[in-house]
Chain A
Amino acid sequence: MKLRLKILSGFSILAVILLISAGWSIAELGRMGHSVQKLLDENYRSINAAKEMIEALEREDSAILTLLLGKKEEGRIILFRADSIFNKNLSIAENNITVAGEGGIITRIKSTYSEYRHLWRTSLTEMDREVNRDLLLTGMHSSFLATKSASHDLLNLNDKAMYKTASDLQNRAQRATMPGIITVIAALIFTLIFNYLVNYFMISPIVTMTKNITQFIERRKPFEFDIETHDEISDLARSIRDLSAIIQSRSV
Chain B
Amino acid sequence: MRFYVVLRYVAFSFFLNAIFLALSAVVSLIYADEAFIPLLYSAIIIALFGLFPVLFIPPIVQIFNKEGLLIVVLSWLLSCLIGIIPYILWGGEFTVTNAWFESVSGYTTTGSSILTNVEVLPPGLLFWRASTHFIGGIGIIIFALAVLPSFGVAEMVLYRSELSSLGRQNFQYRTRKAIKILAGVYLGLTLFNTVGLFIAGMNLFDAVTHAFATIATGGFSTKNASIAFYQSIPIEVVSIIFMILSGMHFGFLFSVFIERNTTFWKSSVVKYYIMVLAAGILISTLNIHLYQGTAWGTALRHAAFNITSVGTSTGFASADTAIWPAFAQMILIFFALQCACSGSTSGGIKTDRMVILFKAAGQQIKKLMHPNAVVGIKIDDIQIEDEVVSESVLFIPVYLVSIFISTLLLTFSGLDSLSAFSGTVAAMGNVGPGLGTVGSMANFGHIPETGKWILSIVMLLGRLEIWALLIFFLPGQWKKSVTY
Contact = CB atoms under 8 A, between A and B. Distances in A.
A206 B23 CA distance: 44
Contacts of A20: 41, 44-45
Contacts of A196: 3-4
Contacts of A10: 52, 56
Contact of B89 (A6, A179, A201, A227): A179
A73 to B, nearest CB: 59
A178 B99 CA distance: 13
> Interface majority SS on B: helix, strand, loop or mixed?
helix
Contact of B58 (A174, A204, A228): A228
Contact of A230 (B48, B58, B90): B58
Contacts of A44: none
B476 interface: no
Nearest to B55: A9
Contact of A178 (B3, B7, B57, B88): B88
B118 to A, nearest CB: 17
Given A171-B91, A186-B45, A13 B52 contact: yes
A215 interface: no
Contact of B45 (A175, A182, A208): A182
Given A182-B85, A204-B484, A193 B45 contact: no
A16 interface: yes
B52 A190 contact: yes
A227 B57 CA distance: 12
Contact of B484 (A1, A21, A201): A201
A136 to B, nearest CB: 52
Interface-central residue, A193, A229, A230, by most chain B CB under 10 Å:
A193
Interface residues of B, number: 27
A174 B91 contact: yes
A50 B81 CA distance: 50
Interface in A185-200: 186, 190, 193-194, 196-197, 200
A190 B51 CA distance: 12
B37 interface: yes
Interface residues on A, range: 35 or more
A24 interface: yes
Nearest to B11: A193
Contacts of B7: 193, 197
Contact of B52 (A178, A182, A183, A193): A193
Interface in B64-103: 85, 88-92
Contacts of B37: 24, 27
A231 B57 CA distance: 11
A17 interface: yes
B53 interface: yes
Interface string B12-55: 00000000000000000000000001100100110011011101
Contacts of B44: 16, 20
Contacts, number: 77
A179 B52 CA distance: 20
B57 A197 contact: yes
A6 B52 CA distance: 9
A205 interface: yes
Given A9-B56, A230-B58, A175 B484 contact: no
Contacts of A194: 52
Contacts of A175: 38, 89-91
A24 B45 CA distance: 13
Contacts of B51: 9, 13
A177 to B, nearest CB: 10
Contacts of A27: 37
B48 A17 contact: yes
Interface string A1-33: 100011001100100110011001001000000
A109 to B, nearest CB: 33
Interface in A203-252: 204-205, 208, 226-230
The 9 tightest CB contacts between A and B, nearest first, are A174-B91, A171-B91, A13-B48, A227-B484, A178-B89, A205-B484, A228-B58, A9-B55, A197-B56
8 contacts: A1-B55, A9-B56, A13-B49, A20-B45, A193-B52, A197-B7, A204-B484, A229-B58
Interface of A: 1, 5-6, 9-10, 13, 16-17, 20-21, 24, 27, 171, 174-175, 178-179, 182-183, 186, 190, 193-194, 196-197, 200-201, 204-205, 208, 226-230
Given A13-B49, A175-B89, A229-B484, 16 more contacts: A9-B56, A10-B56, A16-B44, A16-B48, A17-B48, A20-B45, A171-B92, A175-B90, A178-B88, A182-B85, A182-B89, A183-B45, A186-B45, A190-B49, A201-B484, A230-B58
